[in-house]
Amino acid sequence: MIVGFATRGQGRGSGPVGYCVQETVTQAKKGTHTRTPPPTVLRGDPAATEQLIDSLEFRYRYKSGVLSFAPGEVITPEQEQNIMDRFEKVAFAGLHPDQYNILWVRHEHAGHHELHFVTPRVELTTGKSLNICPPGRGARAAYDDFRSMINAEYGLADPDDPARERDIQHPPGDRKAVEWEDLGLPEGVSAAKRRMELRDLAHSLIAKRVEAGLIRDRDSLLEQVHELGFSVTRASKSSITLLHPDDPEETRFKMKGAIYGAGWELESTLEAANQPRERDYSRCDSRAAERYAERVEGHIQKRAEYNRSRYAPRDETSGQAVPGLDAVAEPAPGDDLAGYLRRGLGVDAVPVSDDPAAAADAAGTRHQGRGTDRAEREGVPIDAEERDSETAGVGPDLHRGAVNDGIGEDAARRVRAIREAAERAAESARRCVDRAGACLKRIRGVEPASDYLAAAVGRIENLVLDREAEKSSLMLEKDSKEKPSESKMDSQDLNRKSNSPGPIDASRNFKF
């Protein structure tokens, strides 16, 4: 297995998503062709991933790539799930599943097993850019160790296997050009074939001189190349570029392989061939897998520390990290918003309807019935004005401005405490619903998420106001019975004396 990342990342989401999921595709050089068997979506929602990519304003909106297996290797569905899970632990180290979006699609039409992935370059709870493969050696080493770990564990073909090293490497562009000839696309085929033929010819002549002992290092290689009649137009650390003087097309071709590197020596090559191998690449190697797993865990911990710092939720006023959000349970596989809120809010959770309008009506009916139910339990009739006043969060006497002033500072302090507790509960609910919003994007798509979430926020607000109203009313009635009234006090004076804040806006500072 090899891990490859595409260099693209700009443009609309229809490009990478369509390439992964479409059965019939049209490409500039290959034309239109049908994939048999068709692609299979293994994880994620193509429509949600595409919409999320399109919603981003970053220059680079997505990251895509593939886990490609060698022809003949059979990957079971259980192995697929395990490999995808472990890849996500490396790519999204330290993040919860509701903090990112990824699409996985299986391809088998090319004659071997491939797991393609597309992920929007955004962390969902903060909206910041998220690059799972940043430039640098650290990311490359992490994915190389991941690749080696999986290959050693399952006994898969590994690019580090000396037996798989090619003596001469043809550039991918030349190989693809020759493949296009089979599709009836002759453009560029003749030049590619010419380069491949010259490359194979030069390598066969050079290999014979290596076997004869005439070529032992880079210097002797360049000397023999000149004797063979080729001109060296460029020499790099890993390859040399040749030109045959008698070629009328003046075709330049690159020679890349083990013997064409700047540091190659015949003696060291022979010594390495006689040394025992670090691992047996022909079968599963549990010891090698454990070694690579330790390296992978080190990469994960290092990246997780960075991700938790960069993507920690922040208070909008102070800019400080919001504590305690890690304690909110992450969405379980297949979980919906109702289940997520039940686990996050506990007894304060409210039911969620699939219809936002019906959910809002149900919330209003539930809210309206609370005062009526309490009156019925106590056997006291309640008129429409009193019902509306309790719904607004105040008792009937306070609504009409006839409140006993004998309740004093003690009752006022308790009323303030009730309101402050209600505000804290609403704030906690808002934070939980904020996390639930990201969960919705993965469960129900990007566009409908705000409707369901808005209904949930409204119901949470109503629930908090209900409890505040009931506690305030019971407190005021209790104190009015314990202390007889001597004078009346205007409701505005009570509000000013108790420094009572206004009605709680549960949608304040909430972003969809």
Task: Give the H/E segment covering residue 494.
Answer: helix 491-498
Give the distance from CA 92 to its chain's centroid: 6
Whole-angstrom Cα distance, residue 120 to residue 118? 7
Q: 304, 41, 298: which is closest to 149 by C-alpha?
A: 298
Q: Is 339 helix (H, G, I), strand (E, B) or coil?
A: helix
Q: 113, 38, 31, 103: which is closest to 72 by C-alpha?
A: 113
DSSP string, 111-167: SS-EEEEEEES--TTT-----SS-SSHHHHHHHHHHHHHHHHHHT---TT-GGG--S
Q: 175, 426, 152: which is closest to 289 by C-alpha?
A: 152
* DSSP secondary structure letter of residue 253: E
The letter for the amino acid at 71 is: P
Query: What pLDDT, on a 0 to 100 scale, did the predictor assign at position 434?
Result: 67
Q: What is the mean pLDDT of each run of 10 residues along the chain (512 residues)?
A: 94 95 78 88 96 95 96 95 97 95 96 96 95 94 96 92 71 61 52 81 89 90 91 91 78 87 86 70 89 96 95 67 48 53 51 49 45 41 39 38 47 64 67 61 48 62 70 68 49 45 40 36
- Planar angle of CA 24, 29, 31, nearest 5 degrees: 30
Query: What pLDDT, on a 0 to 100 scale, did the predictor assign at position 339?
Result: 57
Whole-angstrom Cα distance, residue 84 to residue 78? 10
Domain boundaries along the sequence of the chain: 2-161, 172-274, 325-498
Query: What pLDDT, on a 0 to 100 scale, did the predictor assign at position 440?
Result: 52
Whether the Cβ atoms of residue 440 and residue 344 lie closer than 8 Å to each other: no
Q: Is 434 helix (H, G, I), strand (E, B) or coil?
A: helix
Q: Could you tell me the pTM of the whole model?
A: 0.56
Whether the Cβ atoms of residue 94 and residue 303 lie closer than 8 Å to each other: yes
Please tell me the total number of residues recorded for the chain in this structure: 512
CATH code that applies to domain 2-161: 3.30.930.30
The letter for the amino acid at 483 is: K
Q: Which residues pair with 488 in a beta bridge?
A: 404
The letter for the amino acid at 323 is: P
Q: Is 307 helix (H, G, I), strand (E, B) or coil?
A: helix
Whole-angstrom Cα distance, residue 208 to residue 5? 37
Q: Which long-range contacts (CB under 8 A, 24 or more apart) does 309-314 make?
A: 310/123, 310/128, 311/95, 311/99, 311/123, 311/125, 311/126, 311/128, 311/130, 313/125, 313/126, 313/431, 313/434, 314/126
User: Rg (Cα) of the chain, in Å, rounded?
Assistant: 34
Whole-angstrom Cα distance, residue 229 to residue 243? 9
The letter for the amino acid at 411 is: A
Q: How many CB atoms lie within 10 A of CB 212?
A: 9
Half-sphere exposure of 71 (CA within 13 A, CB side): 3
Query: What pLDDT, on a 0 to 100 scale, did the predictor assign at position 269?
Result: 78
The letter for the amino acid at 239 is: S
